[in-house]
């Protein structure tokens, strides 16, 4: 945040255009979260914290501002964590300070996730990931991709299969963009191709991020994560989740209690991209008469998860509830 303006990378334009999106008040910042100008657990949390700070700076009713910001993405635990933390501030100076602390904490936690997770990655591993949980999804480093970046920088040869992640294609657009910038060998694959490569023994390790983790170790993540976990289990491939402890909802007993966001059907019925003439546009791919269903997340039961990588270390799903007191 600079002079009360929250500055975000306009992620829907990537990888075809890099642009900074200025949010001049808390409502614009909140709506940037809703419209996925910014997305990813940690980035949403940090942005929500800054939105609350903007409300304090503007002398708004911060209680109403908090409810408005929370309504933007109902599944994202980091959003609720950040809003509630800044809401406790006594004045605008403290609100800005707490918002910055949340952002700094996120960067620190993610680097530590990378350090812990990198130990699981062997030289020569072929890794599959779903959606985007890297630099763009957090303040720094990312969660699921942080161990990959640490492994690459420590001299390990790694290869990443990046699921395209329909309907918004965060894997094809954002994860692939990041991996290319980092010089990590990779291939974008159709979501339905993951099982094919697993069965061929071409995947050694699966790692994903999370938008909310229940107290019993169930994990909500981008739609399609659950089926990747089932396929990994069937093929004897370890399936790991990487997330800071701020993503854990200790008050949520199980994944059945996690609210699942239903997004606009247009995301499924249309595609966004660059044509052969270099023009970026949205096109409809389904019949005009067709409707669509668009759940943004699904829940992976704890039984499919080998471990959850946090800034405090790697835990079995059943150990998650004990982190609160550690």
Q: How does pLDDT run across 265-276, given as a tens digit for each residue?
A: 999 999 989 988
**pLDDT tens, position by position, 129-160:** 999 999 999 999 999 999 999 999 999 999 99
pLDDT of residue 1: 85
Tell me the pLDDT of the chain averaged across its residues: 97
CATH match for 6-110 among 3.90.550.10, 3.20.20.70, 1.20.120.420, 1.10.3720.10:
1.20.120.420
Pairing of strands 219-222, 297-300: antiparallel
- The full set of domain ranges for the chain reads 6-110, 120-323
**Residue 211 bears catalytic tag:** yes
Instruction: Read off the pLDDT of each residue in 163-183 and give the average, rounded to a whole number.
Output: 97
- Say whether the peptide bond before residue 31 is cis (omega within 30 degrees of 0): no
Residue of 106, 163, 191, 211 with catalytic role: 211
Percent residues over pLDDT 90 in the chain: 95
Instruction: Read off the pLDDT of each residue in 35-64 and give the average, rounded to a whole number.
Output: 98
Contact 208, 131 (CB under 8 A): yes
pLDDT of residue 38: 98
Instruction: Read off the pLDDT of each residue in 307-315 and give the average, rounded to a whole number.
Output: 97
Contact 135, 178 (CB under 8 A): yes
pLDDT of residue 260: 97
Homologous superfamily (CATH) of 120-323 is Translation initiation factor eif-2b; domain 2 (3.40.50.10470)
**Residue 2, pLDDT above cutoff 90:** no
321 pLDDT tier (thresholds 50, 70, 90):
confident
pLDDT of residue 312: 97
C-alpha to C-alpha distance for 235 and 240, rounded to whole angstroms: 14
């Amino acid at each position: 945040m600079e002079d009360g303006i929250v500055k975000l990378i306009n992620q829907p334009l990537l990888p075809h255009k890099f642009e900074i999106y200025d949010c001049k008040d808390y409502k614009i910042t909140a709506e940037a979260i809703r419209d996925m100008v910014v997305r990813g657990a940690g980035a949403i949390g940090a942005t929500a914290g800054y939105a609350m700070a903007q409300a304090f700076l503007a002398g708004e009713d911060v209680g109403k501002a908090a409810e408005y910001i929370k309504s933007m993405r109902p599944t994202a635990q980091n959003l609720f964590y950040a809003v509630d933390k800044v809401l406790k501030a006594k004045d605008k100076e403290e609100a800005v300070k707490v918002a910055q602390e949340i952002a700094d904490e996120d960067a620190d936690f993610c680097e530590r996730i990378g350090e812990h997770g990198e130990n699981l990655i062997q030289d020569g591993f072929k890794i599959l990931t779903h959606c985007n949980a890297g630099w763009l999804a957090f303040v720094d480093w990312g969660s699921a991709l942080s161990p990959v970046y640490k492994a690459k920088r420590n001299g390990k040869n790694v290869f990443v299969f990046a699921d395209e992640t329909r309907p918004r294609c965060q894997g094809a657009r954002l994860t692939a963009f990041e991996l290319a910038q980092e010089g990590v060998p990779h291939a974008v694959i159709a979501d339905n191709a993951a099982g094919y490569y697993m069965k061929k023994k071409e995947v050694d390790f699966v790692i994903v991020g999370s938008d909310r983790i229940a107290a019993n170790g169930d994990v909500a993540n981008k739609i399609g994560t659950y089926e990747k976990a089932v396929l990994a289990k069937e093929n004897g491939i370890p399936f790991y989740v990487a997330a800071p402890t701020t993503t854990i909802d200790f008050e949520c007993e199980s994944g059945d209690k996690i609210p699942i966001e239903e997004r606009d059907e247009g995301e499924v019925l249309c595609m966004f991209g660059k044509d052969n003439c270099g023009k970026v546009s949205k096109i409809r791919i389904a019949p005009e008469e067709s409707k669509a269903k668009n759940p943004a997340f699904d829940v992976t039961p704890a039984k499919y998860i080998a471990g959850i990588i946090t800034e405090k270390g790697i835990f079995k799903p059943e150990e998650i509830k004990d982190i609160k007191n550690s």
